[in-house]
Amino acid sequence: MLIIKIIHYKSAKRKQITKIFAAEYKYPRKLLCGGTSRGMGGDSVNRYNIAVVGATGMVGRKFLTVLAQRKVPIDNLYLFASARSAGSSMDFGGKSYVVRELTPENVLKLSNMIDYALFSAGAAVSKVYAPLFVEAGATVVDNSSQWRMSEGVPLVVPEVNPEDAFCGSGIIANPNCSTIQAVAALAPLEREFGIERVVYSTYQAVSGAGMGGYNDLIDGVKGLPPRKFPHPIAYNILPHIDVFMEDGYTKEEWKMIVETRKILHRPDLRVTATTARVPVFYGHCESINVQLKSPCTAQRARQLLMDAKGVEVMDDPASNVYPLPILAEGRDEVFVGRIREDLSAPNALNMWVVADNIRKGAATNAVQIVELLISRKEAKGDV
Ligand code: A2P
């Protein structure tokens, strides 16, 4: 009998240690090993200059963690944020780095000195500064929604459409967090059977709304009013992520729909979505109903997903084993469980898909894109 103890040490701010004693649960072996995909592993002989824009934010900080964990070979690191944080310092790899104010002058001063720039400071910042960094000689991997649907800008999930990363001209977009985990689970089914229609229902963590969202949940449990969300998020669920559009959908729902089509190269794909914010710190959950072009048993889908890169199947309902946000937190895999045939429609399946929205849903995916670019560059001897 296997006894597994997983201890999540939460941030100091949360002052909370969650202990999960998963006695008798048969978690996949990989869950016990810590760490996930290997990253660069320090193999590269070349080193690169990296900039992080929005370095002090929720995703910006995670960029630094993931760059270090995956041993991306960095020569110089440049950190940018707003005037509010300029002059403060942040640690990376045992060294302290001063945060620079993001201004055109400060970017152009570094012309031809930045290889890759990771952006997560919101769409308005990306709109102005991503082209400026490209002009200064950098390749930008942008986590905002600004460029995702622009013609000629690749939208990349490395396990799904890696080749697209090489078709851009300076800016590569990192998809929306909820789209990344969804397409990771859908791509193996699309490849094998073709997808007819997708219905998304999401349960998204507050960290997806940045530090403001995170703080609203912290404050909310103390009875304080929200500052980021339009309603209290503590002990509540908001069927509202990003702004409402004229057709009644939210922008988050629209993003999931159009980004899924772009990443899977299926402009014709029928997709619908309802996205909701739930009082969870990290880890988005998604109920995905997918109708395929030909029959697929739950067992076959399970096997395909077990073989898929970056996906971990956790599907043993008899032992209460299924993906949970607290198990996905801090991990880079997309966890899939509750895989079952939809008894109400032909060729259709239901599944439950969970991932850490700040890691695979943002920072890890962006860093993997940089790794792809570095690997290709080095394979071509173009360094
Ligand atoms: P700052 O900390 O100086 O405000 P989050 O998504 O967690 O809210 O983080 C947003 C990130 O984007 C932060 O690093 C924030 O910096 C940065 N940011 C926000 N607005 C600007 C701006 N106008 N110029 C540069 N950085 C910005």
pLDDT in tens, 141-199: 999 999 999 999 999 999 999 999 999 889 999 999 999 999 999 999 999 999 999 99
How far apart are the CA of 180 and the centre of ligand 1, in A?
A: 23
Runs of H (alpha helix) within the chain? 29-33, 58-69, 104-108, 123-135, 177-193, 210-221, 251-263, 298-307, 325-328, 364-379
- For residue 270, the SS3 value is strand
Q: Is the dihedral of CA 100, 96, 134, 166 positive or negative?
A: negative
Question: Active-site residue numbers?
Answer: 177, 284
Instruction: Single out the residue of 135, 212, 143, 128 nearest to residue 176, CA to CA.
Output: 143
Three-state DSSP class for residue 366: helix
Q: Which atom of ligand 1 is nearest to the CA of 83?
A: 3
Confidence band for 382, pLDDT divided at 50, 70 and 90: confident
In short, whether 311's Cβ falls inside 6 Å of ligand 1 is: no
Residue 81 in contact with ligand 1 by CB distance below 6 A? yes
Whether the predicted pLDDT of 301 surpasses 80:
yes
CA-nearest of 157, 122, 119 to 140 is 119
Q: Is 90 in the pocket of ligand 1 (CB under 6 A)?
A: no
pTM of the model: 0.90
The residue ranges of every structural domain in the chain are: 48-176+362-379, 178-357
CA distance 323 to 354: 6
Q: Cα 228 from chain centroid?
A: 21
pLDDT single digits (tens) 243-270: 999 999 999 999 999 999 999 999 999 9
Q: Return the pLDDT at 38.
A: 62
Residue 15 has pLDDT above 80, yes or no: no
Question: Given a cut of 60, is residue 110 above it in pLDDT?
Answer: yes
Band (pLDDT 50/70/90 cuts) for residue 354 is very high
Query: Does 227 sit in the ligand 1 pocket, CB within 6 Å?
Result: no
In the sheet that 74-81 helps form, which strands lie side by side, from edge to edge? Answer: 89-92, 95-101, 74-81, 48-53, 116-119, 139-142, 171-173
Fold of 178-357: Dihydrodipicolinate Reductase; domain 2 (3.30.360)
Task: Measure the CA–CA gap between 205 and 212, rounded to whole angstroms.
Answer: 12
Domain 48-176+362-379 sits in CATH at 3.40.50.720
State in Å: Cα 285 to ligand 1 middle: 26
